[in-house]
Amino acid sequence: MSKLLSPIINPKDLLELQDSSEIILIDARAGINAEENYKKEHLKGARYVDLNRDLATVENNPANGGRHPLPSFEKFSAVLSKIGISPKSHVIIYDDKNGSNAAARFWWMLRSVGHEKVQVLNGGLQEAIKIGFPISSEIETFNSTEKYPISDWKLATANIDEVEKARNSSQNIVIDVRDKNRFDGLTEPLDLIAGHIPGAINIPFSENLNEDGFYKSPEVLKEKYTAILGNKNPEDTIVHCGSGVTACHTLLAIDYAGIEIPKLYVGSWSEWSRNDREMATKNKM
């Protein structure tokens, strides 16, 4: 897969492209009232994708694939066609949490179906507004496209049994990108049990960012992740979070650093903690 674009685009560069008909701008913020907030104020021209509705197939029981399992190829193809994305589109995605809401997840999904011209906005919504990118509360109109051809996920994923094997192997690294308090089992705002997968190491996604909320430079990120990953092959490294969303922030950082993208454990802690697997919790570290 050739890399034509940096996976990160800076706000100033986006501002220069604002009038380009080649750009498809996507608002991927998530959480409570995300779509309502998009309707109230979004970057002019941005189309909205919903994490639960468009970027996942949410099941009744998170024990089967976690809180945000990947959608079927048919569903994802329909989503892309509905919002006007074709294989040749230049897609730029933002959210309001430095890429950690769903912008990086959508980036990973597009890259994983072979889409090359896709970038995440560095600094997100707030930084684009700060430098003068026009905002709007209007309903955006656009045309749908023909069915987007999808045959498989080209980026590697790991299932719960692979993670079980990897966490006990010196040949593998399992990385948990949640914040330290969640990893340590001191707090858990979303899942039933607080703690982490035994054998995993904690590298919070926030460490990918500098104090201004922008991604650190590719050089700094490369030094960091080369030190962590060593000479291991990408298939020997598994990255996860709570539900397979924020983990993509770190996969994006690794790609930005020029390192091959490791495996994503989509089910993450939300699946692991509901399957009677060994867990490191506050009372059992």
pLDDT for residue 40: 97
- Answer yes or no: 248 catalytic: no
**DSSP labels for 106-132?**
HHHHHHHTT--SEEEETTHHHHHHHTT
Residue numbers in the chain where pLDDT is lower than 70 = 1-4, 285
pLDDT for residue 37: 97
Which residues are 196's β-sheet partners? 280
Q: Which of 9, 194, 241, 261 is catalytic?
A: 241
pLDDT for residue 231: 87
What distance in Å separates the CA atoms of residue 148 and residue 78, rounded to the nearest whole number? 7
What's this model's pTM, rounded to 2 decimal places? 0.96
pLDDT one-digit tens code per residue, 192-238? 999 999 999 999 999 999 999 999 999 999 999 999 999 899 999 99
pLDDT for residue 246: 97
| Burial of 253 per CB tally in 10 Å (0-12, 13-18, 19+) | buried
Q: Which residues of 95-132 are buried (b: 16+ CB within 10 A; e: fewer)?
A: bbbbbbbbbbbbbbbbbbbebebbbbbbbbbebbbeee
Number of other CB atoms surrounding residue 171 within 10 Å: 9
pLDDT for residue 285: 57
What distance in Å separates the CA atoms of residue 185 and residue 154, rounded to the nearest whole number? 33
In residues, how long is the chain?
285
pLDDT for residue 1: 37
Helix axes 247-256, 103-112, angle to 10 degrees: 60
DSSP structural state of residue 174: E
Number of other CB atoms surrounding residue 270 within 10 Å: 23
